[in-house]
């Protein structure tokens, strides 16, 4: 099915075809009409979601948080959880310097090698 020609006019012509006195429809005609109905619903849903998003933005005048700020907040939350876990387990907490971590020990990997 060619979707390049799916326009409002195409949909209206398809609806007019249904209104004709034709009693039976070919498999292709039914499939085409179902496809038009699906795309129409999908477009309506996407536009509703977009309108809801813009409405939510308009309701909240404070500046929206950036991705970098969200990531920094998540990292701070993880660090706080790690400190709390270390305190509850009675061990010292060491800030992770970044980079890869050994799966088994949880310690930073000093040198990456090929998997055996």
Block means of pLDDT (10 residues each) for the chain, 116 residues, are 60 74 77 84 89 85 83 92 92 80 77 60
The pLDDT value given to residue 20? 73
The pLDDT value given to residue 37? 82
pTM of the prediction?
A: 0.36
Q: Quick one: 20 and 55 in the same domain?
A: yes
* CA distance readout (Å), 90 to 101, 103, 116: 22, 22, 35
Residue 33 lies in a domain: yes
Q: Quick one: 48 and 85 in the same domain?
A: no
Decide if 29 contacts 17 (C-beta within 8 A).
yes
Residue 115 lies in a domain: no
Residue 80: domain span: 63-93
Decide if 14 contacts 36 (C-beta within 8 A).
yes
Count up the domains in the chain and report the number.
2
Q: Quick one: 70 and 54 in the same domain?
A: no
Decide if 58 contacts 33 (C-beta within 8 A).
no
Residue 39 lies in a domain: yes
């Amino acid at each position: 099915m060619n979707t390049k020609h799916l326009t409002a006019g195409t949909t209206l012509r398809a609806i007019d075809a249904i209104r004709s006195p034709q009693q039976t429809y070919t498999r292709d005609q039914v499939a085409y009409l179902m496809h038009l109905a699906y795309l129409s619903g999908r477009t309506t849903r996407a536009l509703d979601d977009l309108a809801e998003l813009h409405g939510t933005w308009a309701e909240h005048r404070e500046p929206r948080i950036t991705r970098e700020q969200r990531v920094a907040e998540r990292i701070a939350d993880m660090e706080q959880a790690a400190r709390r876990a270390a305190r509850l387990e009675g061990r010292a907490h060491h800030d992770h310097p970044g980079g890869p971590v050994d799966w088994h020990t949880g310690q930073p990997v000093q040198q990456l090698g090929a998997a055996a």
